[in-house]
Structure 1
Amino acid sequence: MTDQQPPFDPRSDLLGFTFEQGDNFELIVKPKPGERVVRVDTDHSRELRDLVGICFDLRRVAEICDRYIQAMDADEAELIQDSLWMTAVMLYARCFNDGVRSRLSTDLLDTMEGQAREAHDHFIDLRNKFIAHSVNAYEQTLAHAVIDAKTGELKHSGTAHLWANAMNRDGALTLKRLAREFLGVASYQQWMTNLAVGAEIDELGPEGLLGLRDLATEVPNVERGKRRRK
């Protein structure tokens, strides 16, 4: 594989660069003639990377909520509507759950009007106890038997699978509002952290920058998908 885009969308300032296959299943940025693109690992660079991912998720949540409302208004198929609102909830919860990426503080909720924290907790519970794991009563499967009320004779038996109703319009608007409020905070944090990383890069000077590794990333595949990224 040579001079082609990786099997994912970089969605970054690297758009416009090409990538080439390196050793150890790496994709290496192929820079413009006379330039190098190097990997920066400073005191604040990890925080910056995390905030970029969080901001991406929160923007997508707001976009999906808009698309979900459109799907409801157009009475699109239930499968499409469920796919939309569940994806929005999953992406929102990713910003607050533990993982390789750091998570956002929820202190903002205490400054918002209305029942912001209750709504936030509800969406997190939807993700953790219904969408990602079957835990709470939003999903129930019951086994039943129909019998004669007097004799007890069995007529037939079966099962009933109960599934939560799709998110309503108010729920979608509330989730969108939360996402946009947190996006405002995270975007400001990203901007400030980017300034800090820029200052740290300046401190390295030309000699320090020349000693940095070329920017590269692992090629995602099934096996590498089983382990935590670096």
Structure 2
Amino acid sequence: MTMTSRYPLRANSEQLALKAGMRRVEVKTESAPELKDLASVRADFSMAKMLLSCYLEKDLEHSAPEPGESDALWLAAVTLYGRAFSKGVRRHGRAELNAFGADSRASHDFFLDLRNKFVAHSVNALEAGAVFADLYSPDGPLGIASIGEAYVSVTRMSRSTAQDLHDLCAQHEEALTRRIEVLHQKIGQELSALGPELLYALPTFVHPEPDASDPAAARK
């Protein structure tokens, strides 16, 4: 019995279709956890990039300064960008900045601060508040007419900033795709090393399904 290795050179696993007689099996080799995590991180960047594309299609320059529906797009995109760098259970494969230039690194720091210190937490100067009191004219009876508060916040991401984040997400997506392609080759070698008997005894692949019933449930 001979074995062939015709696994894809491109990281487009979702597009793979089985031909007659083929069987898809579950893989748990040494490199599989890294591939699974990199695919998840890449999905964060892909989703953020898509949201930013929708945001950039809006008439940002002529929209009202008050928060609107379009602002949910950039807020979600920034959240997803920060999520890709969170220190959660995706510890086997992470996004890297080693090959990025100084400008891309500076952009990364900016957007991570935007997410961590404004979108996710209230710790920077992108919002401000104050309390005031309205006093009656000193020419009449003295006293306090009313108490109020003022709140201001950045509500709109500029077109150029949104484009920078879009391009940064695309850069991460491309870098992760290259790493995923390498892992496809590595996992193919790990599977080939099992030999035909063990390889064909692997369990049939069952497509994973997310559990939306409990947001506190652990990631599988």
Residues 71 and 188 of structure 1, relative CA distance in 2, 3 Å threshold: same
C-alpha RMSD over aligned residues: 2.8
2:98 and 2:40 mapped to 1: Cα distance? 20
Equivalent-residue separation in structure 1 for 2:43 and 2:121 (angstroms): 24
- Amino acid corresponding to residue 117 of structure 1 in structure 2: R
* AA of the residue aligned to 1:52: A
Of the three residues 88, 91, 97, the one matched with 1:106 is 97
Does the CA-based 8 Å contact 1:97-1:103 persist in structure 2?
no
* Structure 1 length-normalised TM: 0.74
Please point out which of 159, 172, 195 is paired with 2:185: 195
Tell me the distance in 2 between the aligned counterparts of 1:91 and 1:174.
Answer: 15
* CA distance 1:57–1:139, change in 2 (3 Å): same
Q: Within 5 A, what are the aligned runs for 1:33-72?
A: 36-72=23-59
2:171 is the alignment partner of 1:167: no
Out of 144, 158, 169, the residue aligned to residue 148 of structure 2 is 158
Structure 2 residue ranges without an equivalent (≥5): 1-11
Aligned to 1:80: 69
Shift of 1:161: 2.4
Q: Is the 8 A contact 1:108 1:182 kept in 2?
A: no
Query: Which residue of 2 is the match for residue 126 of structure 1?
Result: 114
- Aligned equivalents of 1:209 and 1:142: distance in 2? 67
Match of 1:25 in 2: none
Identity %: 31
Aligned residue number for residue 97 of structure 1:
86
More helix by share: 1
Between structure 1 and structure 2, the one with the greater Rg is 2
Distance 1:14 1:183, change over 3 A: closer
Distance 2:45 2:125 in 1: 27
Q: Deviations over 1:73-101 (max 9, x none)?
A: 58567422211111111122222221122
How many corresponding residue pairs?
202
Does 1:222 find its partner at 2:213?
A: yes
TM-score (norm. length: structure 2): 0.77
The one-letter code of the counterpart of 2:78 is: V
Structure possessing the higher relative contact order (Cα contacts under 8 Å, 6 or more residues apart): 2
Q: Give the match's secondary structure for 1:108.
A: coil
State the Cα deviation string for residues 113-148 of structure 1 (Å, max 9, x = none): xx4333211211111122122232323343322224
Shift of residue 63, structure 1, vs aligned partner: 2.6
Output the CA distance in 2 between the equivalents of 1:75 and 1:207. Answer: 65
Contact 2:127–2:151 under 8 Å retained in 1: yes
Moved more, 132-141 or 169-178: 132-141
Q: Give 5+ residue unaligned stretches, structure 1.
A: 1-11, 18-30
Q: Distance in 1 between matches of 2:185 and 2:147?
A: 66
1:40 and 1:152 map into 2 onto residues whose CA distance is: 79
Q: Structure 1 residues 71 and 210, CA, compared in 2 at 3 Å: closer, same or farther?
A: same
